[in-house]
Structure 1
Amino acid sequence: MKKKEWFKLKFSLILCLGFLFFISCSKESTEELVLSPSGEVDLSNDTKSVANASVMMQAFYWDVPAGGNWWNTVDAKVTDWANAGFNAIWLPPAAKAQNGAFSMGYDPFDYFDFGEYDQMGSVETRFGSTTELKSLIGSAHQSGLQVYADIVINHNSGGASEANPYTGNDTWTDFQPKSGLFNRSYDDFHPNDIENNDLGKFGGFPDLCHKKINVQNWLWKNSNSVAKYYKNEMGFDGWRFDYVKGFEPWVVKEWNASVGGFSVGELWDGSVDYLNWWANEANSSVFDFACYYAMNDAFDGNDLTKLNNDMMWKRNAFRAVTFVTNHDTDEIWNKKLAYAYILTHEGYPCVFYRDYEEWLDKGMMNNLIWIHNNLASGSTSILYADNDEYVARRNGYNGAGLIVYINNSDNWQERWVETNWSNTTIKDYSGNSNWEPVTQSGKWVKIQVPPKGYSVWSVK
C-alpha cells in the first residue's frame, strides 16, 4: 500500500505491436554497441534502441520530503532518466488525501484536487501544486517519457460522519470535496442495499462499492470521470492500481476499456496462478511478486536454484512487471544481482527511485538499462543453476540476444555455455570481464564472472 510518447531516437525503427513498448522481447538495434574506456556503456553516443526501451522508474519512495517540492524534484530529473533509457515514470497518488500536506496519497479524499483547493489543512499536496504537476507531466512527455498515475479506488478517507441506515450507526462516509466532483455518501460504500462487502477492506477505511452506478460513473464512465480527467486534463498515460486484492478484476478491465493506456495492478501475492488469473481477467499487467520472492530466496538465501521457480514473466512476459524494491517492501539486500536479473530477463522492469538515485552505483544501473534496451530480446533459456551460479540465454528477436552469468560465490567462476553464435567474437557488456572469447563452430564458449557479480555476453 505505502504503496509515450516514445523515445525520440536517432534510429527509425517503428514497431507495429502496441504491447511491445513495455516488454523486453522485441527488435533491437544492429548498430555497434559503444563502450566507454572503463567498459561501461557510453550513453552519450545515444546508441540506445527504440525497440527494447521499456524500463519504468518508480519516481518516489515512502515519506518523500514534505513541503510541496517533490513534483519539482522529479521534474528536474526526467531528461536524465529518458537519456538513461527509461520509458515511463510512475508517480504516487497525486490528489488531495485526508492527511493533506503530509499524506503520501493512499488515503484519498478529493480525486480532482491536485493541490488547488484549501481543504484537509492545506492547498498543496505533499508533492506540490496542480501547476507543478502539470509542468512535470509536460516535461516528461517532452523527454519521451510516459507518466503512470497511482490509482487508489478500493477505499476513501476523510469523509464527515453521517447516520448510516445500513449499519445502524454513524459512519465516516459523507464526502463533499471542494472540487465539487464525485460527492459520495453511505450509499456508495459497503454495506449498502445491493452488497454487504466485496473482496476486502483496507485499514478500516470506508470501502467503495464498485457495483454502484454512481461510483462507476465517477470513476471511469462519465466524460469528467476520474479516469478521463486524469488522462485528458492532467495528461496521465497509464495506471498503477493500488491494492487490487480489495475489489474484482472487472473494475480494472472496465477502466482500461474506457480510457486505455498501460496498466499494472498491485496484487501482493506469490502465487503465479493467482497473478496470471488476475492479469487475464483485468486485461492488465501485474507486478511479478512471484519473481520478487524467488529473487529474495535466491540472492539473499544463497540458493540460485530458486530462479528455476515459476514466475509471472515465465507465464506471460507481456503482463509481468518485475521489480527489486518498492515503497512498501525492501527485502532483497543483494540488489546488484537482482537488478542484473530483471534487466536481462523478460518482463517490464521497474527501478526504484532510491536504488537508482541514492543507494546503488548509477553507472552500473545505466549500463544494465542499456543492456536491457539493446540486447535483452527474445525468449529465455535457463542454461545452468546451482546454489552459487546461474546462467541464462536470451535467444534474440531479430538480433543477437545475450548470455547472463550471475555468481553469488566469493570467487571468480568460469563455465562452458551454449550461445546463439558460431565462430563469433563475444564480449562482456557489463565491463566486469575483459575476456573476448571466440565461440566454437558448435556455438559453445567458455565465459567467466566475478565474485558476487555478473557478466553479460553478446557479439562484439
Structure 2
Amino acid sequence: MNRNFLKFAWILVLVFVLASCSTDDSGDTIDPTDDSVGVPQPEPTNPEPIDLSAYDNGTGVMMQAFYWDVEPRFGWWDNLSEKVPGWAAAGINRMWLPVATKGQSGGYSMGYDVSDYYDFGDYDQHGTVETRFGSRTELENLISTAHENDIEVIADIVINHNSGGGLEYNPYRDKDTYTLFNETHGNASGWFNRNYENFYPNSVSQYDPGSLFYEETNLDHHLDYVQDWLWKKDNSVAKYYMNEMGFDGWRFDYVLGFEPWVVKEWLNEVGGFSVVELWDGRASVLRDYVDETGSGAFDFATFYKLEEGLDRYEDLNTLKGEMLWQTHPENAVTFTANHDTEKDSNEDNFIKSSNKLKAYAYILTHPGYPTIFYSDFENPDFQDELKSLIAIHNSIAIGDTEILYVDNDEYVMKRAGTGTNPGLILYISTNNSTKRRTVGSNWNNVTLMDYSGNSTYNPTSDENGSVTIEAPANGYSIWSITE
C-alpha cells in the first residue's frame, strides 16, 4: 500500500481524536457524549454511599425566616412555628427573625421603622395591637418551639434610626421634628422614652456618623441615657430581649449608621451570637470590622463574587478573589439572598434564580456559616436540593480548602477533611455540556460518588489519588468516598 496514503490516514485519525477533546488549556477536560468517552476508569455497580450522619462536624446553618412584606399579616409567627420541626430535621440550628417590635407602619410594618422597642404586640398603637407578624404570645410560642427543637433565635436589632414619634420643637435644628417618644407618642410601653436630646445633633454631639435613614431621628449612642436603655440597664433592650423574651443573639441592622464600638460594648455586656449588616463588598472592610468588634458579619464579599462569576461577568475566575471566609471563617456569615437583595431592582444586587443552587452549593461546601433564605428553602423546586446541601455541609464540608482548578466556566475546590472525615470536592460548571476533569484527591484507590445526586458517574481514584470527576451541564456536583 502507498506509504503516503497510510500517513494521510493516520493523520485523519489523529485529527478526529483531537477534535473530540475539549479545547480547555489543560487538555484534561472532556465533553462526553456518553460514559465511554474520557479517561477509562472502572465503574462498579451500585457503590454504597457513606452515612453522612456519622460524620457530624458540629456545624449548622441559619435560616433567614422572612422575606420583605411577608404574608399572611398577623399570622407569621404561627406560620414559622409550624416550619420549625422540619427545619431542625434538615439541619438548621439558628433562625433569624424580622424586627419583632412595633414600627410606625403598624400592621404593615416590617419593623425597620422602629417605634417602641418593647411592644411585641402588646399595645394598641399605630393602628394595631399585634405587629405585622402576630401577637406577643405567638412570638413567645415560636421562640419556645425553636428552643425545643435546638434552634437558637436571632433578633433583628435596629438601633440606628427611629420612626413614629410625636412632633416637637427641636432647638438644635430650629424646627419641629418627630423626636418625641412617650406613652402617647409611639412608645406606649413607656420604656426608653426619647426626645430631641437623644438624637443627633444635641448638646453633647454635633454630628451624625453617617445615617442615610431618618436623619432627624438617628440615636446618639454616646449618651449614657441611650447606652443604659439599649444595653446596660437590667431592663435594657438587649437584656430584656435575651432574659425575658428568650432571644439568643443579634443581627445588627445597618451598622454604617453608628460606630463599631457600639456593637463591641453590646456584646461585652450581654454576649450571644452576633452578625452585622455591613453592606460592603470589600473583604478588607469586613475584616477590619470583625477585628474591631468581635462580631460576625454577612460576607458581602462572597455574595458579590458569586453574583459576578455566575451572573454579571459569567466568569468563575472571580471566585479567586478576596472574601471574608478566607481569613475569618468563624466570623463570615455567607448567603446568596436576603430580604433586601430579593426586592432590589438593581440586577447587580441579586443572584438569578437559575444560578441560585450553584451559589448555595458554593457557600454550603466552603468555610463560613451559611444562611438559607426562607423563600428559597420553601421553593418546591429548590427544597430537596437544599436539604441535600445542608446535610453535606453539616457532615463532610470540613478541612483545609484548596482550589484545584478554575477558569471562566469551571470551578473545582477540595475540602481536605479531618481525621476520619473524608472531606469533599466541589465541581461547578457553567458550560452547556457535561464536563469532566482529572484532579488530585486525598483518596487513593477509592470509588467516589456525587453526593448532590446530580451525576450518576462513579469514578475510582488511582494509587496517587488522581481521579476524573464530572459536572453536569450548567450545574454542580459534590464528590466524596463510598463504602
Q: TM-score, normalised by structure 1?
A: 0.89
Once the 2 structures are TM-superposed, how far is the Cα of residue 196 of structure 1 from its aligned partner? 1.9
In structure 2, give the amino acid aligned to 1:434. T
Which residue number in structure 1 is paired with residue 471 of structure 2? 449
In structure 2, give the amino acid aligned to 1:386. D
User: Contact between 1:87 and 1:144, CA under 8 Å: does it hold in 2?
Assistant: yes
The 2-side partners of 1:108 and 1:306 are apart by 38
Q: Is 1:351 matched with 2:372?
A: yes
The 1-side partners of 2:165 and 2:471 are apart by 57
The 2-side partners of 1:41 and 1:254 are apart by 48
Which residue number in structure 1 is paired with residue 428 of structure 2? 406
The 1-side partners of 2:206 and 2:307 are apart by 38
In structure 1, give the amino acid aligned to 2:200. H
Match of 1:324 among 333, 336, 339: 336
The 2-side partners of 1:49 and 1:56 are apart by 20
Mapping for residues 247-262 of structure 1, pairs under 5 Å: 247-262=258-273
The structure that has the greater radius of gyration is 2
Once the 2 structures are TM-superposed, how far is the Cα of residue 113 of structure 1 from its aligned partner? 0.6
The 2-side partners of 1:342 and 1:41 are apart by 23
The 1-side partners of 2:411 and 2:48 are apart by 22
Which residue number in structure 1 is paired with residue 441 of structure 2? 419
Which residue number in structure 2 is paired with residue 237 of structure 1? 248
Once the 2 structures are TM-superposed, how far is the Cα of residue 48 of structure 1 from its aligned partner? 6.7
User: Contact between 2:52 and 2:395, CA under 8 Å: does it hold in 1?
Assistant: no
Q: How big is each residue's C-alpha offset from its partner over 1:332-386, in whole Å with a ceiling of 9 and x where there is no partner?
A: 0110110111111110000100011026421111000101001100121011111
Match of 2:103 among 93, 97, 100: 97
Q: Structure 1's 332 and 39: CA in aligned 2 closer, same or farther, altered over 3 A?
A: farther
Once the 2 structures are TM-superposed, how far is the Cα of residue 50 of structure 1 from its aligned partner? 4.5
The 2-side partners of 1:168 and 1:431 are apart by 66
Once the 2 structures are TM-superposed, how far is the Cα of residue 89 of structure 1 from its aligned partner? 0.4
Once the 2 structures are TM-superposed, how far is the Cα of residue 204 of structure 1 from its aligned partner? 2.8
Which residue number in structure 2 is paired with residue 137 of structure 1? 143
Which residue number in structure 1 is paired with residue 219 of structure 2? 208
In structure 2, give the amino acid aligned to 1:446. T
User: Contact between 1:39 and 1:431, CA under 8 Å: does it hold in 2?
Assistant: no
Once the 2 structures are TM-superposed, how far is the Cα of residue 397 of structure 1 from its aligned partner? 2.5
User: Contact between 2:49 and 2:449, CA under 8 Å: does it hold in 1?
Assistant: no
Q: Is 1:459 matched with 2:481?
A: yes
3-state SS of 2:203 partner: coil
Q: Is 1:187 matched with 2:197?
A: yes
The 2-side partners of 1:266 and 1:40 are apart by 43
The 2-side partners of 1:67 and 1:214 are apart by 35
The 2-side partners of 1:51 and 1:217 are apart by 40
In structure 1, give the amino acid aligned to 2:204. I
The 2-side partners of 1:100 and 1:452 are apart by 45
- Residue-pair matches, total: 421
Q: How big is each residue's C-alpha offset from its partner over 1:41-88, in whole Å with a ceiling of 9 and x where there is no partner?
A: 99xx99275434311100000000153100000110000000001111
Match of 1:273 among 284, 287, 291: 284
Which residue number in structure 2 is paired with residue 64 of structure 1? 70
Which residue number in structure 2 is paired with residue 51 of structure 1? 57
Q: Is 1:369 matched with 2:390?
A: yes
User: Contact between 1:162 and 1:171, CA under 8 Å: does it hold in 2?
Assistant: yes
The 2-side partners of 1:41 and 1:277 are apart by 42
The 1-side partners of 2:120 and 2:400 are apart by 42
The 1-side partners of 2:97 and 2:139 are apart by 10
The 1-side partners of 2:278 and 2:159 are apart by 14
Runs of 4+ in structure 1 deviating by more than 4 angstroms, as ranges, are 38-42
User: Contact between 2:158 and 2:252, CA under 8 Å: does it hold in 1?
Assistant: yes
The 2-side partners of 1:283 and 1:444 are apart by 41
The 1-side partners of 2:198 and 2:360 are apart by 43
User: Contact between 1:39 and 1:429, CA under 8 Å: does it hold in 2?
Assistant: no
User: Contact between 1:148 and 1:239, CA under 8 Å: does it hold in 2?
Assistant: yes
| Structure 1: runs of 5 or more not aligned | 1-37
| Structure 2: runs of 5 or more not aligned | 1-45, 343-349
Which residue number in structure 2 is paired with residue 151 of structure 1? 157
The 1-side partners of 2:239 and 2:214 are apart by 28
The 1-side partners of 2:468 and 2:52 are apart by 31
User: Contact between 2:163 and 2:214, CA under 8 Å: does it hold in 1?
Assistant: no
User: Contact between 2:200 and 2:219, CA under 8 Å: does it hold in 1?
Assistant: yes
Superposition RMSD on alpha carbons, in Å? 1.8
The 2-side partners of 1:220 and 1:391 are apart by 45
Match of 1:223 among 214, 222, 234: 234
3-state SS of 2:127 partner: coil
Q: Is 1:383 matched with 2:404?
A: yes
- Which stretch of structure 1 is more off in the superposition, 389-398 or 432-441? 432-441
Q: TM-score, normalised by structure 2?
A: 0.85
User: Contact between 2:167 and 2:179, CA under 8 Å: does it hold in 1?
Assistant: yes
Give the share of equivalent positions with the same residue, in percent. Answer: 52
Q: How big is each residue's C-alpha offset from its partner over 1:10-49, in whole Å with a ceiling of 9 and x where there is no partner?
A: xxxxxxxxxxxxxxxxxxxxxxxxxxxx99999xx99275
User: Contact between 1:74 and 1:136, CA under 8 Å: does it hold in 2?
Assistant: yes
Q: How big is each residue's C-alpha offset from its partner over 1:277-335, in whole Å with a ceiling of 9 and x where there is no partner?
A: 11111110001111111101111132010100100111211110110000001310110
In structure 1, give the amino acid aligned to 2:328. N
Which residue number in structure 1 is paired with residue 131 of structure 2? 125
The 2-side partners of 1:89 and 1:401 are apart by 27
The 2-side partners of 1:145 and 1:453 are apart by 31
The 1-side partners of 2:325 and 2:141 are apart by 35
User: Contact between 1:40 and 1:430, CA under 8 Å: does it hold in 2?
Assistant: no
The 2-side partners of 1:41 and 1:292 are apart by 32
